[in-house]
Amino acid sequence: MSQSMAERLRKQVSAKNITAMILFGAIILVFVLFGVSDRLSGGGIGAAAQVNDSLISVANMQTAENNLRQIYGEMFGNDASRLRQEALRGLIDRELMSQAARKSGIIIADAEIRDTITKDVPAFQDRGVFQRDYYLRYLEMTRQTPRDFENSIRQQQEALRARQVFDIASQLSVIEVEKLAALKAYKMNVQFVKLDHKDLLKGFSVNRAEAEKALGDAEFLKKTQNYFERNKFEYAREEEVRAQHILLQIKPGSGADDEKKVLAKIEDLKAKAKTTDFGKLAVANSEDPGSKVKNGDLGYFSRGKMVKEFEDVAFSAPIGQVMGPVKTPFGYHLIKVTEKREASPADFEKQKIEVAQKLLADEKLTIQIKALEDVVTKGDEPALDSVLKSINAKWDETGIFDLSQDAAPKINSQVASTALSELSLEQKLLKRIVRDGDEKYILKLKEAKVEPAAPIDTMTKNMTQAFRANMLFSGWISDFKKVSKVNVNQQMFKP
């Protein structure tokens, strides 16, 4: 179908069929790109996945993959396996939503499917009249049977119908709107300390003499050996290199002339590196924001951490020699290896001091955390500040916010945010440590005020209802997934 035909189809979109265009936006794209994009590979025989008792065909997965490639191809680059995984994941999620909807009594009549195809999709019409040949041509281009296409419509409408149920159920009552207004009127600023065990351990140092003395105790030595055996993988070191680099990016859509200019510039930088400090050149020229501020230093990395083109050069380069230009999907690089570490197996005799230092630091921190819990429970703020100082933990604060927000700024924990309701001007320090997984929080009200309640604006009301609907809908799908069986054909992801 010609470009002009696709343009004509676009002009037929009106407000009343915008929903249909959201569902079938990929249809026009297929018409436009047919003949210039890659054709779908394979015959589409077999199943890509099984969701409970339903099969997802290879043909349907290939159609979804091709649509995804046309729309988001640049995002995935040459990673065909990831693209295929995303396409199949979308089909599996749609199948799960469809099955959950049917199990909940949501039925889409055949007449609705027929009307959607013949009345609501502008791509299948000419001057408002359904054209069967347009429809069949689309099926041919996407290698779908009418049954496949109609089933995909049914699934999408079942999911939309289910979502509409949750949207209706999430409407705020008058009392809830009043409560929301009261929450927005209450402003507070909270001080907090986030206690992350792993982060706090970094601030604890145990000297070698202390570790050697502890290892003289048979019980501690046995404890150290047992920990080492359980965590050997942490002490076996892979081959690593440390390198600096300069990156000049090739912008998406750049032509051959643009790439030649980038290549010429990086060749010039390589020549300058013979007489100019490489780190200074990186700071002035590199387009990798993460490393340029550190003189281009990437730190130590093992195999598998960088793209293959970069890794192959870095692990074979002599120390101190500027290599390149090396082309990767990111652009052109100059690479200078500054240090190398050989691989070494875990060896308790060589590493027992390091293990002992870790265990002793962990014991010390555990004692301090227990002391924190004691002073927090007592509400002893001077003692609390003293213990926090000893473990190098500091107070932070959220800034002013209101209780209608889903989570307090900076805290990023729903559990800790929920606990804020226990704070008051009479009892500012929460007399317990709040636990959320591996993280712990100490909470203290710094200031609070109540402003005159203002009517809830439409946007806030709609956002609150949408958030509630999203949570209910996600929970509903999550519960269905837990009792579902999904088997994926792993052959789909082999090169």
pLDDT of residue 23: 42
Stated as kind and residue range, the H or E segment containing 278 is helix 278-285
- CA–CA distance, 95 with 156 (Å, rounded to integer): 9
Residue range 474-489, pLDDT digits in tens: 889 989 999 999 999 8
Residue range 317-330, pLDDT digits in tens: 999 999 999 999 89
CATH architecture of the domain with range 183-210+349-450: Roll (3.10)
pLDDT of residue 78: 65
pLDDT of residue 46: 63
Domain boundaries, given as residue ranges, for the chain: 3-169+485-493, 183-210+349-450, 237-341
Confidence of residue 59 (pLDDT cuts 50, 70, 90): confident
pLDDT of residue 379: 94
pLDDT of residue 74: 65
C-alpha distances out from residue 345 to 229, 235, 418, Å: 13, 7, 47
**pLDDT above 50 for 231:** yes
- CA–CA distance, 260 with 262 (Å, rounded to integer): 5
pLDDT of residue 31: 44
CA-wise closest residue to 352 among 253, 217, 197: 217
Residue range 190-216, pLDDT digits in tens: 999 999 888 888 878 899 999 999 999
CATH pick for 237-341 out of 1.10.10.10, 3.10.50.40, 3.40.50.300, 3.40.50.720: 3.10.50.40
**Model pTM greater than 0.85?**
no
pLDDT of residue 269: 96
pLDDT of residue 80: 77
The alpha carbon of residue 404 and the mean position of all alpha carbons in its chain are separated, in whole angstroms, by: 26
Residue range 162-183, pLDDT digits in tens: 888 998 988 888 888 888 888 7
More confident residue, 37 or 96: 96
Residue range 399-444, pLDDT digits in tens: 999 877 777 899 988 899 889 989 988 889 999 999 988 889 999 9
First to last CA, the chain: 32
Hey, do 183-210+349-450 and 237-341 end up sharing a CATH topology, with the first three levels equal? yes
Fold adopted by 3-169+485-493: Triger factor/SurA peptide-binding fold (1.10.4030)
pLDDT of residue 346: 92
**pLDDT above 60 for 13:** no
